[in-house]
Structure 1
Amino acid sequence: MDAPSPGAEDPELTYLNVALAFGFIVLNVIFSYIFDLGVGVSLLVAGIRCVVQLAIMGVLLQKVFETENPWAVAAIAFWLNFMGTFETVVNKSKKRHLNMFPSVLFSLLASTIPTSIIGVRFSMSVTRFWEPSQYIPVVGMLCGSTINGVVVAVTYILKEMQDNRDRVEMYLAFGASRMEASKPILVDALRIALTPTINQMSVLGIIAIPGMMTGAILGGSSVQRAAKLQMIIMFLISASTALASICSATYAVSIVVDHDHRLRQDRIYSKPLYSFSPSQGVLRVLFNAGNAVTNQVGLFGARLSRAFKGGNRARSGSGGREERAGLLERGLSYEEAPLSR
Structure 2
Amino acid sequence: MNSVAGTSPVLGWTNVSIGFCFILLDVLVSSVFKLGIASSLLVASVRCVVQLTIMGLFLEKVFASDSVLGVVGIVLVLNVLGAVEVTYNKAKGRFSYMFPLVLISMLCSTVPISILGTRFAMSQTRFWQPDQFIPIVGMTLGNAISSIGVGWNTVQKEFTDNKDKIETYLALGASRFEACKPVATGALKVSLLPIVNQLSVIGLISIPGMMTGAIIGGKPVDQAARLQMIIMFMIAATSTLAVVMSLFFACRTLIDDKHRIRVDRIDMRKPGFYRLRDATASKAWSAIRWKHRDSGGETQALLSGSR
**Bin of the TM-score, shorter chain as denominator length:** 0.7 to 0.9
For residues 207 and 157 of structure 2, what CA distance do their matches in structure 1 show? Answer: 35
- Are the equivalent residues in 2 in contact too, given 1:64–1:72 (CA < 8 A)? yes
Partner of 2:298: none
1:104 equivalent to 2:105? Answer no
Aligned AA (2:49): V
Partner of 2:226: 228
Partner of 1:77: 75
Partner of 2:278: 277
Matches within 5 A, 1:32-71: 32-71=30-69
Structure 2: unaligned runs, 5 residues or longer = 283-307
Aligned AA (1:277): D
Aligned AA (1:183): K
Cα gap change, 1:184/1:61 in structure 2, threshold over 3 Å: closer, same or farther?
same
Aligned AA (1:188): G
- Are the equivalent residues in 2 in contact too, given 1:96–1:155 (CA < 8 A)? no
Which among 185, 198, 201 is matched to residue 183 of structure 2? 185
Matches within 5 A, 1:147-166: 147-166=145-164
Aligned AA (1:18): V
1:257 Cα offset (Å) = 0.2
For residues 153 and 231 of structure 1, what CA distance do their matches in structure 2 show? Answer: 25
Residues 126-147 of structure 1: CA deviation (Å, up to 9, x unaligned): 1100100000000000110111
Give 3-state SS (helix, strand or coil) of 1:277's partner: helix
Matches within 5 A, 1:1-341: 8-274=6-272, 275=275, 276-277=277-278, 279-280=280-281
1:8 Cα offset (Å) = 4.4
Partner of 1:328: none
Q: Higher RCO, 1 or 2 (CA under 8 Å, sep at least 6)? A: 1
Cα gap change, 1:168/1:238 in structure 2, threshold over 3 Å: closer, same or farther?
same
Aligned AA (1:104): V
Aligned AA (2:45): G
Structure 1: unaligned runs, 5 residues or longer = 1-6, 282-341
Give 3-state SS (helix, strand or coil) of 1:259's partner: coil
For residues 129 and 281 of structure 2, what CA distance do their matches in structure 1 show? Answer: 42
Aligned AA (2:123): S
Aligned AA (2:33): F
Greater gyration radius = 2
Aligned AA (1:260): K
Residues 245-294 of structure 1: CA deviation (Å, up to 9, x unaligned): 0000011000000000000110112111122328449xxxxxxxxxxxxx
For residues 155 and 30 of structure 1, what CA distance do their matches in structure 2 show? Answer: 30
Partner of 1:339: none
Partner of 1:314: none
Residues 141-199 of structure 1: CA deviation (Å, up to 9, x unaligned): 01101111111111111110111111111111122110111111111111111111011
Q: Percent same amino acid at aligned positions?
A: 48
Aligned AA (1:228): R
TM-score by length of structure 2 reads 0.87
4+ runs deviating over 3 angstroms:
278-281
Aligned AA (1:224): D
For residues 235 and 8 of structure 2, what CA distance do their matches in structure 1 show? Answer: 30
Which structure is higher in helix share?
A: 2
For residues 166 and 115 of structure 1, what CA distance do their matches in structure 2 show? Answer: 38
Residues 221-258 of structure 1: CA deviation (Å, up to 9, x unaligned): 01101000100000000000010000000110000000
For residues 76 and 280 of structure 1, what CA distance do their matches in structure 2 show? Answer: 33
Residues 190-220 of structure 1: CA deviation (Å, up to 9, x unaligned): 1111111011000011100000000100111
TM-score by length of structure 1 reads 0.79
Give 3-state SS (helix, strand or coil) of 2:278's partner: coil
Give 3-state SS (helix, strand or coil) of 2:10's partner: coil
Residues 92-111 of structure 1: CA deviation (Å, up to 9, x unaligned): 11122111111100000000
Length, aligned pairs only = 276
